[in-house]
Amino acid sequence: MAEATFQKSTAREYFESLVIAGILALFVRTFDFQAFKIPSGSMEPNLLIGDHLLVNKMVFGPTGSSLERMVMPVRSVVRGDVLVFKYPEEPSRDFIKRVVGLPGDTLELKGTQVYINGQPLSEPYALYQRLPDMLLPGDVRRAYGPVTIPDGHYFMMGDNRDDSQDSRYWGFLPAGHIKGRALFVYWSFGGPDGTRWNRFLHQIH
């Protein structure tokens, strides 16, 4: 009787160990983060120079099983996502911009208004500065497109529209260059006061 009890306990221990190992593996994959520091003003006023971000690298990643799909917060890229990605013209550099155009969209910029498939896009996050009344031909800050975004690509723009090196200049972003979605500011340093405590845990929308 004692031997049977021991065997049952051992089997239970193996089972619990496997369950714990599986949970830990899912946890590690779910919370696969990358730190990223904002180096420029291209995303102002929403992200400031000196903001340090956490980036979720697995939110768009593939899952290996139905259990992972149930537990992990995996989803598709949506318009408005703020993404960190490999700069297409120099993949060793990381950029951060906002998704404005999705695959299949027709996008056009007229003045300070972006149109998606002929409809004006509401962008409360966008900042446009005052520019000279007469712009040089080819200045894409106020006139771009229309262009149709190919499958597997995205159109990225900085929130600071007149000070952003984005898809208006270097083209569409291949989906394979995406590294993850920016989640929140975990630390911010800059300006005369040093640490900007009011930016602590600031969520990125």
Which residues are annotated as catalytic? 42, 97
- For residues 189 and 182, the answer to whether their CB atoms sit within 8 Å is no
- For residues 111 and 131, the answer to whether their CB atoms sit within 8 Å is no
Angle at 140 between CA 138 and CA 145, to 5 degrees: 95
